[in-house]
């Protein structure tokens, strides 16, 4: 139970007390935790959309996914955005990430990541919101495991501790976390499975790129990859749904 509490306390603002950072055993529940958070956010989205409207539902949803992690992942998006705009060597990019100032790169990255997420979330019907947003959050948390697997730590902060826990968990940890969204998606259809693959691929590419540039990754890179993977999942799902509808309108029996 202490292992589970450590993960909940680290990744959410829920009032759960824990004296330790996430352990390898606790991280077995990370995708499940994301699924639970997403399920809650999806239920709220669906309720608000059905009674007030889609725009209000999206606003409330964005507030939830940013606030529940305690704004830590929002901070990662800000830091990475500024680091990308720094356009210097690895040492300069790391210094910019640690700088408390907020520049144009941070503001621009917020618009890209959260603006895109909100724009495509508007196309999710309230009937589909529960399943889509639950899986989007599960994939976001799963991407932390995928992104951290086999990576070199940059510095000795909380990101380094997380990487060590993932390394201790090894392949079983990765398989268990992969199983959660994929097993749920099997019952929902291929249109739910393909976005998972695309989102995880995007997360993997991002962390690989940063590891090459910085000779390692830290908590900011992991947090950023998680936010991007959620965005990519939602965008992919909406686009695949639109393509499916388009082909159906043309009379072609293509269901993707």
- Collect all residues with Cβ–Cβ distance below 8 Å to 156 and sequence separation of at least 6: none
Task: Tell me the per-residue pLDDT of 19-32, one tens digit each, with 9 for 90 and over.
Answer: 777 788 888 999 99
Dihedral sign computed on CA atoms, order 216, 114, 244, 185: positive
Interval 112-130: pLDDT, tens: 999 999 999 998 887 788 9
Instruction: Output the pLDDT for position 238.
Output: 92
pLDDT above 70 (res 237): yes
**Based on the number of CB atoms within 10 Å of its own CB, is 251 exposed (0-12), middle (13-18) or buried (19 or more)?**
exposed
Query: What integer pLDDT is reported at residue 88 of this predicted model?
Result: 67
**Gyration radius of the chain over CA positions:** 18
Is residue 247 pLDDT above 70, yes or no? no
Task: Report the mean per-residue pLDDT for the chain.
Answer: 86
Q: How confident is the model at residue 251 (pLDDT cuts 50, 70, 90)?
A: low
Per-residue pLDDT band for 229 (boundaries 50, 70, 90) equals very high
Show me where the domains of the chain are located: 27-249
Per-residue model confidence as pLDDT tens digits over 47-60: 999 889 889 999 99
CA-to-CA distance for 79 and 95, rounded, in angstroms?
10
């Amino acid at each position: 139970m202490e292992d589970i509490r450590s993960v909940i306390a680290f990744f959410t603002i829920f009032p759960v007390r824990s004296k330790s950072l996430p352990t390898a055993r606790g991280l077995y529940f990370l995708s499940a935790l994301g699924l639970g958070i997403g399920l809650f956010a999806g239920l709220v989205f669906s309720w608000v959309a059905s009674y007030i409207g889609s725009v209000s539902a999206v606003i409330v949803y964005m507030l939830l996914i940013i606030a529940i992690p305690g704004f830590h992942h929002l901070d990662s998006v800000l830091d990475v955005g500024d680091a990308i705009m720094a356009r210097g060597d690895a040492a300069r990019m790391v210094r910019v990430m640690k700088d408390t100032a907020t520049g144009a790169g941070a503001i621009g990255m917020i618009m890209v990541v959260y603006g895109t997420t909100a724009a495509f979330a508007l196309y999710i019907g309230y009937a589909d919101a529960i399943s889509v947003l639950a899986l989007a959050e599960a994939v976001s948390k799963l991407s932390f495991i995928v992104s951290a697997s086999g990576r070199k730590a940059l510095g000795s902060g909380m990101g380094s501790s997380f990487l060590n826990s993932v390394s201790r968990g090894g392949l079983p940890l990765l398989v268990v976390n992969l199983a959660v969204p994929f097993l749920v998606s099997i019952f929902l259809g291929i249109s739910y499975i393909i976005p998972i693959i695309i989102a995880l691929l995007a997360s993997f590419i991002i962390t690989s790129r940063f590891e090459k540039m910085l000779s390692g990754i830290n908590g900011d890179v992991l947090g950023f990859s998680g936010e991007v993977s959620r965005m990519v999942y939602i965008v992919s799902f909406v686009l695949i749904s639109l393509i499916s509808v388009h082909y159906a309108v043309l009379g072609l029996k293509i269901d993707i």
